Amino acid sequence: MDEQNDCIFCKIVQAAIPAQKIFEDDDVIAFNDINPVAPMHFLIIPKIHVASLMACEEPHQQLLGKMLLLAPALAKKQGCTDGFRTIINTGTVGGQEVYHLHIHVIGSKNRLPAMIHKSQ
């Protein structure tokens, strides 16, 4: 398995640091965000170290599809049947803090606030 020593999410994959896992299989793990912004806020990550969406290429297509399909499946299990928000922060412009690809899945009983405010 690809791994990077100083990567916090690789450490979660290796169970070297704990996480509140909600799903795991051979390819991916989903776990609750340590600093949730809504009642439901979990992350879906690949087990292999991929730095960001910018680093993804054609061989990652199946993995990306699997990660994306897991979002509604796990959100529904957590009771968010009316929808949720997915975010993939990418690179410095995207405000990415952890350089191991992850999808944020965020949900609440009520409508989430607008993500980016239109200037007019």
Residues of this chain that interact with ligand AMP (CB under 6 A) are 8, 19, 31, 33-35, 89, 95-98
Distance, in Å, from the CA atom of 7 to the CA atom of 22, rounded to the nearest integer, reads: 20
Distance, in Å, from the CA atom of 3 to the CA atom of 7, rounded to the nearest integer, reads: 8
Handedness of CA 82, 45, 68, 93 (dihedral sign): positive
Q: 49 or 96: whose CB is closer to ligand AMP?
A: 96
Examine residue 47 and tell whether it contacts Zn ion (CB under 5 A).
Answer: no
State the binding partner of 95 from ligand AMP, Zn ion, none, CB within 5 to 8 A by kind. ligand AMP
100 in catalytic set:
no
